[in-house]
Amino acid sequence: MEGEYVNWTTPKFFFPTRINRYMPLGVLSLASNLLDDNHDVLVLDPPSEGWDINETVKKIEEEKPDVLGISSVSRRVYSLNKILEKTTTKYKTVGGPHATHHAQEILDRGADAVFVGGIADDEFKNAVKTNQKGIVDCNTKMDDINFPKRDFLKIQKYFPKDFALFKAQNRLPMFSSVGCPRKCIFCNVQGKKVQRKDPKIVVEEMKYLISIGCKSIHLLDDNFNEDESHIHRIIDEMIKNKLSVEWSGRGEPTISEELAKRLSENNFKRMHCGIEALDDDILKFFRKRVRTKDIYKFCKTMNKYKIDILGYFVLGAPNETEEYRKQFPHKVRELNIKHPFFNILFPEPDTEYYYSLVRDGIYEKDYWAEYMKNPTPYYEIPYPYGKEKKQEIIRYVNGLIEEFKVEDIH
C-alpha cells in the first residue's frame, strides 16, 4: 500500500484492512492451478501483512523464485513499479485489474509478461513453462480450472476478528461469477464479459470452505443476481447436497418475489448491493439500470423476507441538490437499509466518469495519463469541482457515518 494514490472514495472508516483481511483470491486461483504441474508455489499477501515496499522486496528476494507473479490494482502502480525495479527474478509477470489498460507501461517498467483480459489461469500455467514474453490475452474458462485453495495462507488470520454491524462468524468470500454487463460510469469492473461457475462447482467450493472452518459464505461477485436463474440453480444444488450454511451475496438492487422467498428459506442472510442513489436524476447520471421505484420495490421485498440489506451509496454527484442531501438519511431509514455504506464519487482511472471530466473540459488535462507514465508516491488528483466542494462532501459523508454509526466493510 506504500505510495498508493490518494483516493477519497471510501472514508477511512470503512477501509477493508482496518478490521479484517481479505484473501487474494485471484493469486490463490493461479497458485492452485499451478499445483497440477507440481510447481512449488508460495503466496505472499503484503497488503494484509502491512509490509512496505522494501519488506516485500526482501521477502521475494529471500525466496529466489524462478517466476514472480504480481497482481496489480491501479492505485498501487507506484509500488508495482518499485517492486519490478528492485527484484532480481529472471521471469517477472504481472496481471490483475490494472494490467488490462496499462500493459505496455508495465512492460516498459521491467515486467517480462503482462496478462490482460481477466481469468488467466491457463495462460499463466502455460507461461510458467515457456516463459512467454509480452502481452498475453487471457480467456480461461472458470469451469475448466480448480477453485482457489485457501491453505496457501494461514486461514485463521482471515476470519473476521471483530464483528462490526453484522455478525457473521468465520466468514470467507468466494465467487460464483465474475464480470457485469452494466455500464455504471464510475465503475472499474473490467470483466464486462460475465462468466458464471457451474453451480455444482460453486457448491463444491462451499463445502471446501466449510471443511476449513468457514461458517458464513459471502458470494463476492461483481453482480451476483444479474441472472436469477443462476442463483436458483445454486439453491437447487445446495438443497441436493443438504447444505444449510449461512450465506450472503453481492449484487444489484432488483429481485423477484420468488427468488427472495427461496433465498430466505435457504439461510441467505444479507444482500450487499450498489444502490448508489435515491434519486432518478442521479441514477441516470451514474447510468444505473435501476430507478428509485425499482429500489423501493427491492427493499420492500427484502424486508418482507427478512433478508438484511447492506447498501452501497455514492455521494457527491454534480447534480446532487441540498434538498436531496437533507432527505437522504430519512429515505435510508424509510427503506430499512440496515447497513448503509457511504462512498464519495471518485474519478478512477479508465472509467467513463473520468473520461467525461476530461472530455467536458472540467479537467484541463488528462491527469491519469500523465501520472501513469511516471507515478509518484501518494499522488492526489484534483477534486473536479473545487476544494470547497470537496470539504463540503467529506463533511456531509462524515456526518452520515456518525448518524448511522456505520461500522462495516464489503
Provide the binding-site residues for ligand B12, judged by CB under 6 A.
10, 16, 22, 24-27, 29-30, 47, 69-71, 73-76, 93-98, 115, 118-121, 124, 175, 178, 187-189, 191, 220, 222, 348, 410
| Closest to ligand B12 by CB, 5 or 363 | 5
Tell me how long the chain is: 410
**Partner whose binding site includes residue 274, from ligand B12, ligand SF4, none (CB under 5 to 8 Å by kind):** ligand SF4
Q: How many helices (H) and strands (E) does the chain have?
A: 16, 12
End-to-end CA distance of the chain: 19
CB of 207 to ligand B12, least distance (A): 19
Q: Residue 144 in contact with residue 123, Cβ under 8 Å? A: no
Of residues 186-215, which lie at the interface with ligand SF4 (CB under 6 A)? 187, 189
Angle ∠(328,184,29) on CA atoms, nearest 5: 115
CB of 108 to ligand SF4, least distance (A): 29
> What is d(CA 30, CA 121) in angstroms, rounded to the nearest whole number?
5
| Closest to ligand B12 by CB, 145 or 259 | 145
410 counts as binding ligand SF4 under rule CB under 6 A: no
Q: What are the cell numbers at 32?
A: 492452485
**Partner whose binding site includes residue 375, from ligand SF4, ligand B12, none (CB under 5 to 8 Å by kind):** none
| Closest to ligand B12 by CB, 301 or 379 | 379
**Stretches 175-183, 234-242, 329-337, 400-408: which one binds ligand SF4 (CB under 6 A)?**
175-183
222 counts as binding ligand SF4 under rule CB under 6 A: yes
Cite the DSSP H helix spans in 5-98: 16-19, 25-34, 46-49, 53-63, 77-86
| Closest to ligand B12 by CB, 70 or 260 | 70
| Closest to ligand SF4 by CB, 29 or 223 | 223
What residue type is 99 in one-letter code?
A
CB of 216 to ligand SF4, least distance (A): 22
274 counts as binding ligand SF4 under rule CB under 6 A: yes
136 counts as binding ligand SF4 under rule CB under 6 A: no
**Partner whose binding site includes residue 272, from ligand B12, ligand SF4, none (CB under 5 to 8 Å by kind):** none
For residue 45, the Cα-to-chain-centroid distance in whole angstroms is 16
For 114, phi and psi rounded to 5 degrees?
-125, 130
362-382 in b/e form (b: 16+ CB < 10 A) is ebeeebbeebbeebeeebebe
Distances (CA, A) of 114 to 76, 104, 189: 16, 8, 18
| Closest to ligand SF4 by CB, 56 or 190 | 190
Give the residues lining the site for ligand SF4 (CB under 6 A): 180, 182-184, 187, 189, 222-223, 252, 274
